[in-house]
Amino acid sequence: MTDPLNRCFAPAQLGSRSLRNRLIKSATFEGKCLNGVPTPELVRLHERIGEGGVGMTTLAYCAAEADGRIHENMLYMHEGIRGPLEELIRRVRATGALVSGQLGHCGNFSKNRAFQGRRPLGPSAGINPLGLTYGLPFAGALSKSQIRRRVEVFGQAAAFMKSVGFDAIEIHFGHGYGISQFLSPRTNRRTDEYGGSLENRMRFGLECLAAVREAVGDGFPLLGKISMMDGVRGGIGVEDALEIAAALERESLDLVVCSGGTSSMNPMLLFRGDSLLPGLLEQEKSALMRLGMKLSGKRMFREYPFEETYFFDAARRIRDRVKCGVCYVGGANSNDSLRKLMSAGFDFVQLGRPLLYDPDMPKRAASEIGYANGCSHCNRCATLIDAPGGIQCVERPKNFELGTPD
C-alpha cells in the first residue's frame, strides 16, 4: 500500500499555481520590518525557509492600509515598498518556493502611534487594551461608509500584491483581527445589516473576499485563515465556523486554513505550549502594562498543553463540510502527524514554529523516515515579535543568521 505521506511531498495545485509539495510556511509576523519597510533580515528569513524545501512561504503581516497595522513598523500595502517586496519575492522564488502574503486589518486593536489620537475602528466601540499606554484607550465603531471604504481598501491592497508578484494571498479572517471582530458576537454588537445573525456578521468578511477576488481575478490562489472557535465566552464555535467556511467557499475561496483562538483575548488556544506571559513581561517596557498583564495573566494566558495536531478534530469537520481546499495548521510536527493529516484528506499543511526551529523540515521530512521536529513549544519566538530584530527561535538561534545555518 502506498504511504499517504508520499502525497505530502508530491507537487500540488492551488488555483493556477503549482506548489512543489503540500507544506506551506504559516503566517508568523516576523517583526523584521522598520517603519513599514522589509529589512534584509526579513528577506533572508523567507529565503532560508524556501531553501528548506517548503512549497510556499507566507509573508506576514501585510496590512491592507496604514491604519490596519498594530504598530507603525508593520508592513502595509503601498507603492513605497514595491521594490523591497519584489526583491523578497524574487529571492524566495529562486529557491523553488512560492510566496503568499497574509492580508489583514487590525480593526479595533492597535498601538500604532501613527493614529495620533484618532481611534482604531472596528464593528463596535469599546476599549482598546493594546493602546492603553499609547494614548489610544478607545476603539470606535465603523460607519457604513467607512465599512465600504475598508472593503475597497482590501481590494486595492490585493491588486497591489498581485502586481508586485505574490503567488497567493491569504486573507486573515481569524485570531480576533479586523474581519474576525465582525464575525464574533463577542466584538460585534451592531444592530444594522453587519451585526446580529451569523449571516449579517459574515457580510463584511464576504464583501472583503469579493473585493479581493475581483481585484486578482479567477484562478489566482486565495487562502483564508479562520478561527474555528474564538475560545472566549460569547464568541464563535465550530458550528459557526462550518457555516463560515461554506460561505467562503461559495464566495470563491480556494483554501480554508483552520486555526482557532483570538490573539487579543485567548492567544494560547492558537499557540499551544508554554505560556507567552513570562516572555512578554520581559519585553514590555511600560510598568503599567506589565502590571495589567500580571493581573489579567491567568485569564488571558490560559493553560493549553501542547499536543500534536491539536486542531485535528475541529479541522476535520471543516474538511468534511466543504469541497474547496482545506489546510491544516497547529502542531504538525512530525511525519506521523503529516501522514495522519494526508490520510484525513487535508490538501495542505501549514507549519509555523516547526519551521522557525528547523527550516529544513520539508527536505528532512521527505528523506528521513520518522522525522520529528525538535521545537519544544516554549513559545519564546512569539514573544519576540516586538523585540529589536524581531522573531527568532531561541533554541536554535542561528537558523536565520545570514550565512550558513547550523
Ligand X SMILES: Cc1cc2nc3c(=O)[nH]c(=O)nc-3n(C[C@H](O)[C@H](O)[C@H](O)COP(=O)(O)O)c2cc1C
Residues designated catalytic = 177
Q: Which of residues 112-171 bind ligand X (CB under 6 A)?
A: none
Name the nearest CA neighbour of 277 among 132, 379, 354. 379
Q: Which residues pair with 372 in a beta bridge?
A: 334
Q: Quick check: 195 binds ligand X (CB under 6 A)?
A: no
Query: Which of 15-23, 71-79, 85-93, 329-337 is the region at the interface with ligand X (rule: CB under 6 A)?
Result: 329-337
Q: Which residues pair with 227 in a beta bridge?
A: 259
Q: Which of residues 4-43 bind ligand X (CB under 6 A)?
A: 26-29
User: Cβ 173 to ligand X, closest distance in Å?
Assistant: 10
62-91 b/e with 16+ CB inside 10 Å = b?
bbbbbbbbbbbbbbbbeeebeebbeebbeb
Asked if the bond preceding 357 is cis, omega within 30° of 0, the reply is no
Indicate which single residue of 100, 102, 181, 334 sits in contact with ligand X (rule: CB under 6 A). Answer: 102
CA dist., res. 158 & res. 166, Å (int):
9
By rule CB under 6 A, what string of x and - marks binding of each residue 285-324 to ligand X? ----------------------------------------
Q: Which of residues 336-375 bind ligand X (CB under 6 A)?
A: 351-354
Q: Which H or E element spans position 152?
A: helix 144-164
| Closest residue to ligand X: CB criterion | 352
Q: Which of residues 251-280 bind ligand X (CB under 6 A)?
A: 259, 270-271
Indicate which single residue of 331, 334, 399, 400 sits in contact with ligand X (rule: CB under 6 A). Answer: 331
Residue closer to ligand X (CB basis): 221 or 352: 352
DSSP annotation string for 296-342: HHHHHS------TTTTHHHHHHHHHH-SSEEEEES---BHHHHHHHH
User: Cβ 236 to ligand X, closest distance in Å?
Assistant: 16
User: Cβ 270 to ligand X, closest distance in Å?
Assistant: 5
Tell me the residue type at 240: D
Q: Quick check: 175 binds ligand X (CB under 6 A)?
A: yes
Supply 263's cell numbers: 490573539
Q: How many residues bind to ligand X according to rule CB under 6 A?
A: 25
Q: Quick check: 381 binds ligand X (CB under 6 A)?
A: yes
CA dist., res. 71 & res. 385, Å (int):
11
Q: Quick check: 77 binds ligand X (CB under 6 A)?
A: no
Residue closer to ligand X (CB basis): 212 or 391: 391
Indicate which single residue of 61, 166, 220, 400 sits in contact with ligand X (rule: CB under 6 A). Answer: 61
Indicate which single residue of 77, 202, 382, 393 sits in contact with ligand X (rule: CB under 6 A). Answer: 382
Q: Quick check: 391 binds ligand X (CB under 6 A)?
A: yes
Work out whether strand 222-227 and strand 168-172 pair parallel, antiparallel, or are unpaired: parallel
| Percent of residues in the chain assigned helix, strand, coil, to nearest 5 | 40, 15, 45
Query: Cell 524574487 maps to which residue?
Result: 90
Residue closer to ligand X (CB basis): 195 or 311: 311
Query: Which of 143-151, 244-252, 316-324, 379-387 is the region at the interface with ligand X (rule: CB under 6 A)?
Result: 379-387
Please count the other Cβ atoms lying within 10 Å of the Cβ belonging to residue 13: 12
CA dist., res. 394 & res. 148, Å (int):
43
Q: Which residues bind ligand X (CB under 6 A)?
A: 26-29, 60-61, 102, 172, 175, 225, 259, 270-271, 329-332, 351-354, 381-382, 385, 391
